[in-house]
Structure 1
């Protein structure tokens, strides 16, 4: 994975596309979990959302490391 990506003359961190992808996946999972009523079964919904995003982003970042 490149450390930096050149985009229209700007240098962006290499994990930025991974972050955006995990953010989109998190929004989809959030909608699905809300419709299924999963958030009624967790202690703190906001902490659960944050922990789920951290796990998704951490796993995706580790999968892309050389």
Structure 2
């Protein structure tokens, strides 16, 4: 698993810590992983389609 570093406002960190304290997640890291999975499941397909369109455009433009 790769590691990334992010900065969050104190209020968001406190909310994540409360979710852990309430037993919703075992760790803050797991809560963040869950949030990232949700974001990608909602928007990942659109991002991939747009990325494919840009790649296709670049290939056509460069004559590859």
Identify whether the pair has TM-score above 0.5, normalized to the shorter chain.
Answer: no
Higher relative contact order (CA 8 A, sep 6+): 1
Higher strand proportion (structure 1 or 2): 1
Please give the TM-score of this superposition, normalised by the length of structure 2: 0.37
Please give the TM-score of this superposition, normalised by the length of structure 1: 0.36
Higher helix proportion (structure 1 or 2): 2
